[in-house]
Structure 1
Amino acid sequence: MDYACGSGAECGSIQPSGACYTPDTVLAHASYAFNSYWQMTKAAGGTCDFGGTATIVTRDPSK
């Protein structure tokens, strides 16, 4: 998360006063940060594996 948020991902929403703070879990916040980073960098060839800690999915895995 530090890498994604420090590299331009929009992470204000997962801060305590942010709209996406809840649920307050590492999993939820990492998912948000990784997705934000990916959305900002994919057109320029950015990757989204974060050293094997993330993967691209086509449907919501929580359902």
Structure 2
Amino acid sequence: MNFSKSTLVPLLGMTVVALFIILAYVSHNVFLDKLLVCGFILLMVLFVKLRAGGTQNKDNSESVNDPL
């Protein structure tokens, strides 16, 4: 399993956000509604970054292999 930094960081970020949401839910946090909205926005940004990182790596590998 070869994980690059562009894949590992967003996955770690998504995991941390999910853990904060679960922790707030279990402890009956007053600000759970605000945390859910912020968490959803962060998860979407991290997901887009994860998707963009995968296509960026493919583009770089193709350009290196193509002779000019």
What's the TM-score, normalizing by structure 2? 0.30
Q: Considering fraction of residues, name the structure with more helix.
A: 2
TM-score, with structure 1 as normaliser: 0.31
Identify the structure with bigger relative contact order (alpha carbons < 8 Å, sequence gap 6+): 2
